[in-house]
Structure 1
Amino acid sequence: MTQLTDPSGQPPYLRIVAGIRRRIMDGELSPGDRVPSTRQIAKEWGVALATATKALTTLRLEGLVEARPRTGTVVAETAPARPPRRPSPPASPSEQELTLERIVRTAIDIADAEGLSALSMRGVAARLGVAAMSPYRYVPSKDDLVLLMADAAFGDETYPADAPQGWRSRIELGARTLWAVYRRHPWLAQLGSLTRPLLVPNLMVHGEWMLSALDGHGLDPTTLFDIHVLIYSHIQGLAVHLEWEAHAEAATGQSEDQWMDSRADVLRELVDSGRFPTFAKVVGAFDDGYDLRLDALFESGLKALLDGLAPIVES
């Protein structure tokens, strides 16, 4: 197993990125070719699966690779003709003043790329190029930082000054806006439960939009708020799987499709057992397996919810 050592202190995942990028630019890997999986990278480079996943994520953000259902990660058809310019090293505290906003946005970047479990105050300081204790001058703890991150992330999407006509159009816009936030920041859905919600201003902005869409239809306060919570739970309930799948891929080194393929024998045993005839009939009708599409489930679930709620709201 190759050991990663770099006197310059370059993070291991960047060396992996550089190696795969070089193979793509040299034509060794062409558009559509599969790139090494997270498990293959971990074995070849002697790193943890999380580090391998981070390397592939970086390549995806650069536009060099893309994930394809039933195939895995491949070289993108629109891969750049030359490597992207290496970002400038972080400015020293003397070059650029450290601010709370920079700390929060840097923490969000880390959580977006690597998951909330990878976030630490020391890691934020390292990314900013400042002393390990410097962020504590602006925010007292990681828990406080996470709340600030959540508030900033929920504020990434806004609403138009002129609201659409009709309660349903407004609810659809609000639901899709919140789904877009969770899509951009998958870790957000892990932070609050229905019983202990996040009380941050920018999440309240989304709640205010939804409540105002339902207000004025003669609903009593309990029914109105129940409907709001029901719609929110549909959005958040699907969004939690975005981060869970990222964690599972990092832990197993397998994509969703690869994991399902590895359990084909178990699935076949269940189907052939005769104990679950309806399940067997439905699964047997798929030509190439069932693709779990969260975006499609979000839309179909939202439509079903609003169809069912229409008689209550409009009565």
Structure 2
Amino acid sequence: MPTTSERIAAAIRARIDAGELAPGDRVPSTRQIVAEHGVAMATATRVLALLRNEGLVESRQGSGTVVTGTGGPADRRWPGERNAPVGPAARIRSGAPARQGERSTRGGSAVVGQTARAKRASDPTRDGVASKPASGATRDGVVPKRASGPTRNGVLLKRASGPTRDDVVRAAVAIADDDGLAGLSMRRVATALGVPTMSLYRHVRSREDLVTWMMDAFYAEMPLPDPLPDGWRARAEACARVLWAGFERHPWAAQALSMTRPQIAPHGMAFTETLLAVFGEPIDMNTRMHLAVSVVQLVRGVAVGIEPARAARQDTGISDEEWMDRALPDLQAVASPARYPHLARATTTELDLTLDSLFEFGLSRLLDGYTHFLNPEQDEGQ
């Protein structure tokens, strides 16, 4: 009798064989398996391990666990052939032997015969005499397709438009909010909108382009105070707090935000423009850019921990404090005072160390340093 993990793996395998999960598509994560089947995390991990051992899935950095493309019959054909019938003629073209119960087509005679019959059926002449074309057919015997859709007074009306780019971006943001960037794919967005995947490319060029539009929507959702408070420090702090609040609402954005190849997002550019203006003249632009980007990088660096922390709480069902209480005895057993005197002392001290406290502490110390850097004369007078 199959185990629970084997039954769940079989269900996912069936989706791969049916072509529902195509090569490159992300399979359900351990978190999703736990939520959908009500099993333990260890069981969900074994499910993916079974599929991985069969060569059906593989782990890809930044994408999670995806289909390798070596699963079911549909996946072993090229994308353009997935809807093609897998019959005797198809196996002849591929060089595969006929299945039991199918007529032998040695030498291709059966295929030739079928082709000849099809040609005769479509030939507008018979014994050299032109046959009458079907009603509505052209001279070549082809019946043109009639335009379908709603009409008014015999005039075809324009079809209702599909989703807009804003709809696509909103659907993508919702998916990323639930499953992170690793769970985002063009196919999932299309499924959420109920449209073919390829139709999304009328609005965005690629998944990377989609993420850029998502980042623009992210910045648009968190406008800065207007007017900003007085003083460069208060303004820099206001910008940092708005950014932190945005990352708390959309943790995926911290991972998506590139510091070396920034996305060209209009609302993001407006945010950067404001932060650059915080550190105005006579500071040179190179220094101002370093000051501004360092603020963003501090906030982003702490915020990348929000998503995995939430995932851990969801996977284990316990809070960070409860987890630490359970792990503390093991940590104290390893952190001997003789070898790790400072760490051993920390394990016996009540600490208030959270992502929020790290953000607050880091921002204050960074701006303290900016104060000394921007006002060296004040340090000399002390």
On whether the aligned pair clears a TM of 0.5, the verdict is yes
One of 306, 316, 319 as aligned partner of 1:242: 306
Q: Is 2:357 aligned against 1:293?
A: no
Please list every run of 5 or more consecutive structure 2 residues that lacks an aligned counterpart in the other structure. Answer: 12-27, 47-158, 378-382
Quote the Cα distance in structure 2 between the aligned partners of 1:219 and 1:97. Answer: 50
CA deviations on 1:188-216 (whole Å, 9 max, x unpaired) are 11124433333322222221111101103
The Cα of 1:97 is off from its aligned counterpart by: 3.2
Change (3 A) 1:254 1:41: farther
Whether 1:140 aligns to 2:205 is yes
| Contact 1:38–1:250 (8 Å) recurs in 2 | no
The equivalent residue for 1:42 is 39
Whole-angstrom distance in 2 between the partners of 1:158 and 1:116: 23
- Are 2:283 and 1:219 equivalent residues in the alignment? yes
Q: Distance in 1 between matches of 2:356 and 2:277?
A: 25
Residue by residue over 1:115-141, the C-alpha shift from the partner in whole angstroms, topping out at 9 and shown as x without a partner, is 111111111111112233322232232
Aligned to 2:327: 263
Distance in 2 (CA, whole Å) between partners of 1:193 and 1:134 is 27
Partners of 2:228 and 2:238 within 8 A in 1:
no
Deviation at 1:221, TM superposition (A): 2.5
User: What's 1:121 paired with?
Assistant: 186
> Cα deviation per residue 1:236-293 (whole Å; 9 max; x = unaligned)?
110111123245556777654454455334312233352011221232122xxx4532
Counterpart pick for 2:264 among 199, 218, 230: 199
Q: Does residue 1:170 correspond to 2:235, yes or no? A: yes
Native 8 Å contact 2:215 2:257 kept in 1: no
Equivalent residue number for residue 220 of structure 2: 155
**Partner of 1:180 in structure 2?**
245
Alignment pair present for 1:229 and 2:290: no
1:307 corresponding residue in structure 2? 368
Checking the alignment, whether the CA contact within 8 Å between 1:171 and 1:210 is kept in structure 2 is yes
SS at 1:275's partner residue? coil
Question: 2: distance between equivalents of 1:41 and 1:258?
Answer: 22
Q: Which residue of 2 aligns with 1:80?
A: none
Q: CA deviation at 1:95?
A: 7.1
Distance in 1 separating the partners of 2:224 and 2:332: 48
- Aligned partner of 2:363: which letter? L
In the TM superposition, what is the alpha-carbon distance from 1:48 to its structure 2 partner? 7.1
Between the aligned partners of 2:172 and 2:352, the Cα distance in structure 1 is 33
Q: Give the Cα–Cα distance (whole angstroms) in 1 for the partners of residues 260 and 227 of structure 2.
A: 32
**Matched residues, percent identical?**
37
Which residue number corresponds to residue 278 of structure 1? 342
How far did 1:159 drift? 2.2
How much is the aligned-residue C-alpha RMSD, in angstroms? 3.5
What is the identity, as a one-letter code, of the residue corresponding to 2:207?
K
1:167 and 1:214 in contact (8 A); partners too: yes
In the alignment, the residues of structure 2 paired with residue 241 and residue 296 of structure 1 have an alpha-carbon distance, to the nearest angstrom, of: 13
Give 1:42 shift: 2.4
Relative contact order higher in (CA < 8 Å, ≥ 6 apart): 1
Matches of 1:141 and 1:220, distance apart in 2: 37
In structure 1, what is the Cα distance between the partners aligned to 2:198 and 2:339? 60
Identify if the C-alpha distance between structure 1 residues 206 and 279 changes in structure 2 by more than 3 Å, giving closer, same or farther. Answer: same
* Structure-2 separation of matches of 1:142 and 1:134: 13
Farther off after superposition, 273-282 or 147-156: 273-282
Work out the CA distance in 2 between the residues paired with 1:182 and 1:193: 14
Letter in 2 for 1:232: V
Shift of 1:304: 1.6
Matched to 1:197, the amino acid is P
Match of 2:107 in 1: none
Q: Which amino acid aligns with 1:300?
A: F
Distance of aligned partners of 1:40 and 1:109 in 2 relative to their CA distance in 1, 3 Å threshold: closer
User: Does residue 254 of structure 2 align to residue 189 of structure 1?
Assistant: yes
Q: Is the 8 A contact 1:191 1:198 kept in 2?
A: no
Which residue of 1 is the match for residue 176 of structure 2? Answer: 111
Whole-Å Cα distance in 2 between the matches of residues 150 and 162 of structure 1?
24
In the aligned structure 1, how far is the partner of 2:347 from the partner of 2:163? 56
Determine helix, strand or coil for the equivalent of 2:197.
coil
Cα distance in 1 for residues equivalent to 2:239 and 2:353: 24
Between stretches 173-182 and 304-313, larger displacement belongs to 304-313
Q: Find the aligned partners of 2:318 and 2:234 in 1 and give their Cα distance.
A: 39
Q: 1:38 to 1:283 in 2, by over 3 A?
A: farther
